[in-house]
Structure formats: C-alpha cells, structure tokens
Amino acid sequence: MSKSFGFLKKNDRTIDYDKNDRALFYYLMRVEPSAALCIACGACTATCSSGNFSSLDLHKIMLSIRRGEKVYIAKEITQCVLCGKCQLVCPKNVNTRGIIFQIMSFLQSSQL
Amino acid sequence: MNSDVLVIGGGIAGIEAATNLYLLGYSVTLVEQESELGGHVAQWNKLFPNYKNAHQIIQTLLQQLPGDITILRSTKIIHLSEKDRLFSVNLSNNSTITTKTILIATGYDLFDARLKEEYGYKIYDNVITSAELESLLRQNKPILTKQGKEPSRIGFVHCVGSRDRKINNLYCSKVCCVTAVKQAIEIRQKLPFCEAYCFYMDLRMYGLNFEELYNESQEKYGVTFIRGRLSEASETIDGKLILKVEDTLLGRPLKMTIDMLVLMVGMVPSKGTNFLIKELGLHINNGHFIASNDEHLRANHTNKHGIFVAGSASSPKTIDDTLADARSAAMAIHQFFKNSKL
C-alpha cells in the first residue's frame, strides 16, 4: 500500500450564530438568570469532583449555553454528580447546581 | 484685557475650574472655540453608571458659573507668547489678553474609526460609532439600519482606537467598556427583541457601580459578552454584516451575521490640545496627551512655569475624574499665586 499524504475530512469547529439554537440560554434567563453572570474564571472546573475523572468542564458548559451549543451540553452534563462544590467556589455566586438541574429538565422536555 | 487666569476650553473641566478660580478670588477669562459651552458632555444622553441626564450636569455647572467671569465664545487662540512671566494671547476676534497663568482644558477628540479600516466604518452601511448611537438616543430617534429596518442583532466592539499598538495608542480610554455596557442595556430596553453582543479583549469595570451595571446587563438584560477581538467585518448583499471573531474562551472560531455594528471609539488629544502642545513646547506623555510635571504630586502642572492642565487634555478621564481634576487644577493655581507673592 502506498503512503498517504494525510488528507482528512475535518469537522467544522466554527460556532455559527446564524445556525445555532439559543433556546436554552433564553430559558435559563427566565428561570435562573445568574447563569448569565459566568465570567469563565474556571474555578468550578478546577474543583469539580467529577471533572477529575471525566471530561466534565462546567465553565465550558456555561459558555456553550450562551453560544447555543446544545449537543455538547447534553453529552457532558450527564457526568455531573451534583456535589455542589462548583457553587462553593464561584466568585459570581452563580447558582450552578440549580442551573444544572434546569439544563437537565430542559433537555428532557425538548427534542434535540 | 488683563486677567489672572486664562482658561482655554469651555467643556466641563474649563467651566468647573473657572468657577472655582473665581471663588478663590481671581479674575478669570474663559475661551471656547464653539458657540456654546459644554464640550463633549453636551452631546451625551444618559451617563453611566446611574443614567443621570448629561444635560443636567451641564445645566448645573452653568448655573454655578459666576456672571463676572469673562466668557469668549466662538473664539480661537491664534498665538501665544511669554515675556517677563506674563503671557500675551492673540485671539481670533483680534483682541489680545495678557494673563499671569494659563489653564489648558482643551480635552480630547474621538478616535477616527476610519483608521481601523477592517471594521468598515464609512465603508459599510451599518457600522456606526458609539458617539453616533448616543446621539440617536439623545434625540430619541428610532434605531434603524440604513435599509430602514429595526435591527434584530447589534454588536459592540470594545477598544476601537485604544490599547492598540497598530495605531500607536497604547493607553486605555477608560470610558468605553462601561459605555458599551450602558448602551447595550439601552438597546435592550428600546428594542426588546434585539440581541446585543459585546466583543472585548478584557473588561475594565474599575469604577464605583461599573461592575454592578455589567452584572445587570447580563442578568437582567441578557447582553452576551464574547472575549475576542473582531478581526474583520464584511457586508452581505442586503447590508448586514458578517463578523469573524475567535471565541478565545472556547478556543474556537465564531461567525455571526448582525444588523448593526457599534464601534466604541476611544479618546485622542483634541486638535486644540495638540495646537497648544506645539505652540507652548509642552512635554507629552506616552506620545499623546499633555504630560504632568509629576503624576503624583504636581498632576496639574506642566513643564512650563505658569501653565497648568485640567481634564482629559492630560489623559482620558471620566466626567467625575475630570471635574475633580478641574477643582484640583484650581487649587494648584491658587498655590502658585500664594507662593509667588511670598
């Protein structure tokens, strides 16, 4: 077999605001507006019990809410064990645990 | 015509300093090149962070301005010369003023956004400056695109003309971050169905109640902040704008079509400030504004004996800082006179 040049099909990594769906963001703005306060400082991610052993990254989830990246959130959020350590360290006093509950209930009731 | 102090510039710094110098017992002449006093602040609508009416500030300052002060409107400085510690100033109305001290309160101009060509100001239809948006808000005009439609998405670009080595402006203009937050809230209030996005490098919410306003903009008004500098804007066939930005918090490229782009233009020394720097041989700070003799102890003194500076002629300042600086300049001149009599 001849050696390949390494051409690959690449997935588009662009966050496309003309196609994404910000429904979850607007839902949270109604039921848990502290979600908008996240400054992505990463304290939650650093302390996360689950994150030590999994790909769970809460500050990325918070950003993805605003960016309308629902598929990523749905995949990651199930790894949370709801220990609440993220809420203890959050400097903006974001109700992280409440937000995770709301995300779960939103995802259950909406079609992905 | 003689006076103890000649105040050049009738914006808020000049007015406040002139009032206080008069109260300290000096004869004051105030020169303003425009037909009205008030400077830039007279152009603004509501002020951050508490939505006080800018008009009210000007009105209060003018009410306090003593009638005995000589005010020369629509008058420019043509030439200045010094002899035996007395300045002789030729004016555009062909008169000459002899004065013991000069207070420079000539302020700033807004950065010319055309210099950041990649943002498309004066090239694309729907790119405006923060000052133009403020003017629409002040006149209570409808916010519409050039095509006459109500926008459903507005973007704000922070640091246009500030903290940018490419245009040799290394300084922070201090007011634009919080102005973007204020204007984004006003857009959300006026057009509840219009989304507002702010594109920033980092946010400088240093003042009292700035951070609170920023929190409110997110929690109450859903303004979305994206950390990433706009690299390029391009126009679609129907006059919308496509933005290309890196979302640096997620480390991914971002694409967004918006209806209107607002450029948060910073401050540069005004034409008048630059004229006086040249005419009087004043030192400049970081290549731009008038340098203080000592930033800590002699902030209102320049390198020239008898010449003082107040307000944003020496660096970008908020309204509060400008007024405090003007009062401080009045005290510096008072000290100058007291010491020279000894």
Q: What angle do CA A10, A11, A12 make, to 5 degrees?
A: 115
Please tell me the distance from the alpha carbon of residue B238 to that of residue A106, in angstroms, as a whole number: 36
Interval A90-96 mean pLDDT: 96
Report yes or no: B267 and B279 within 8 Å, Cβ to Cβ.
no
Interval B1-16 mean pLDDT: 96
Domain-embedded: residue A21: no
Of B219, B227, B247, nearest to A36 by CB-CB distance is B219
What pLDDT band is residue A112 in, cutting at 50, 70 and 90?
A: low
Which pLDDT does position A67 carry in this prediction?
Answer: 93
Residues of chain B with CATH 3.50.50.60: 2-107+270-341, 113-265
Res. A8: pLDDT tops 90: no
Architecture label for domain B113-265? 3-Layer(bba) Sandwich (3.50)
Contact state of A63 with B252 under an 8 Å Cβ cutoff: no
Contact state of A15 with B255 under an 8 Å Cβ cutoff: yes
Interval B268-282 mean pLDDT: 96
Domain B2-107+270-341 class in CATH: alpha beta
Domain of A71 in residue numbering reads as 26-109
Report pLDDT digits (tens) over B210-232: 999 999 999 999 999 999 999 98
Res. B342: pLDDT tops 50: no
- The continuous run of DSSP H or E covering B256 comes out as strand B252-258
Which pLDDT does position B286 carry in this prediction?
Answer: 80
Domain-embedded: residue A12: no
Please tell me the distance from the alpha carbon of residue B304 to that of residue B284, in angstroms, as a whole number: 12
- Which of B256-260, B275-279, B285-289 shows the lowest per-residue confidence on average (mean pLDDT)? B285-289
Of A17, A25, A26, nearest to B255 by CB-CB distance is A17
Res. B340: pLDDT tops 90: no
ipTM: 0.88
Question: Over pLDDT 70: what percentage of chain B?
Answer: 99
Domain-embedded: residue A39: yes
Which pLDDT does position A12 carry in this prediction?
Answer: 86
Question: How much helix, strand and coil, in percent to the nearest 5, is found in chain A?
Answer: 50, 0, 50
Domain count for chain A, please give it: 1
Report pLDDT digits (tens) over B85-138: 999 999 999 999 999 999 999 999 999 999 999 999 999 999 999 999 999 999
